[in-house]
Amino acid sequence: MTQSSGTILLVDDDEDVITAAKLLLKQVPYAVHSERSPAAIPEVLRSEQIDVILLDMNYTRDATSGSEGFHWLQKILEIDPLAVVILITAFGDLETAIRAIKVGAVDFVLKPWQNEKLLATISSAVQLRHSRLKASHLEASQRHLSEALDQPYHEMIGTSEAMQQVFRTIEKVAETDANILILGENGTGKELVARAIHRRSARAREVFITVDMGAIPESLFEGELFGHVKGAFTDATSDQTGKFEAAAGGTLLLDEIGNLSLAMQTKLLRVLEMRQLTRVGSNKPIPLDIRLICATNRQVHEGIRNNTIRQDFLYRINTVEIHVPPLRERGEDISLLADFFIERYSRKYNKPERRLEPETYRSLGEYHWPGNVRELKHAVERAVILHEASSYCPTDFALANPDPQSEQDMPGDLHLAVAEKALLRKALKLHQGNISKAAEALGITRTSLYRRMEKHGL
pLDDT by residue (tens digit) across 56-102? 888 766 656 668 888 889 999 988 888 999 988 877 677 777 888 88
pLDDT top residue among 345 and 137: 345
Query: Rounded CA gap, 324 and 65, in Å?
Result: 72
- For position 181, what pLDDT does the model report? 97
Residues of the chain with CATH 3.40.50.300: 161-325
Query: Rounded CA gap, 358 and 28, in Å?
Result: 62
**What pLDDT digit, counting tens, does each position of 24-34 carry?**
888 887 888 89
Is the bond leading into 352 cis (omega within 30 degrees of zero)? no
pLDDT over 90 (residue 109): no
Query: Rounded CA gap, 307 and 309, in Å?
Result: 6
Query: Rounded CA gap, 313 and 301, in Å?
Result: 11
Superfamily of domain 407-458: Homeodomain-like (1.10.10.60)
pTM here is: 0.58
What is the DSSP secondary-structure string of 218-275?
GGGHHHHHH-B-TTSSTT--S-B--HHHHTTTSEEEEETGGG--HHHHHHHHHHHHHT
Is the bond leading into 326 cis (omega within 30 degrees of zero)? no
- Residue 266 CB neighbour total at 10 angstroms: 13
**What pLDDT digit, counting tens, does each position of 220-257 carry?**
899 999 998 888 888 788 888 899 999 999 999 999 99
Task: Specify the fold of 6-142.
Answer: Rossmann fold (3.40.50)
- For position 27, what pLDDT does the model report? 80
Query: Rounded CA gap, 444 and 298, in Å?
Result: 13
- For position 92, what pLDDT does the model report? 66
Which amino acid, residue 134? K
DSSP alpha helices (H): ranges in 324-393? 334-348, 358-366, 372-386
- Architecture (CATH level 2) of domain 161-325: 3-Layer(aba) Sandwich (3.40)
pLDDT top residue among 409 and 441: 441
Task: Specify the fold of 326-404.
Answer: Helicase, Ruva Protein; domain 3 (1.10.8)
Percent of the chain with pLDDT over 90: 42
pLDDT over 60 (residue 218): yes
- For position 324, what pLDDT does the model report? 96
- For position 142, what pLDDT does the model report? 63
Query: Rounded CA gap, 397 and 341, in Å?
Result: 13
Residues of the chain with CATH 1.10.10.60: 407-458
The answer to whether 247 and 194 are in contact (CB under 8 A) is no
Percent of the chain with pLDDT over 70: 89
User: How far is Cα of residue 81 from the mean position of the Cα atoms in its chain?
Assistant: 29
- For position 1, what pLDDT does the model report? 40
- For position 404, what pLDDT does the model report? 43
Average pLDDT over residues 160-180: 94
CB-hemisphere CA count at 13 Å for 387? 27
Query: Rounded CA gap, 209 and 227, in Å?
Result: 15
Residues of the chain with CATH 3.40.50.2300: 6-142
Query: Rounded CA gap, 97 and 120, in Å?
Result: 18
- For position 167, what pLDDT does the model report? 94
By residue count, the chain amounts to 458
- For position 382, what pLDDT does the model report? 92
pLDDT over 80 (residue 399): no
Beta-carbon contacts of residue 416 (< 8 Å; ≥ 6 apart) = none
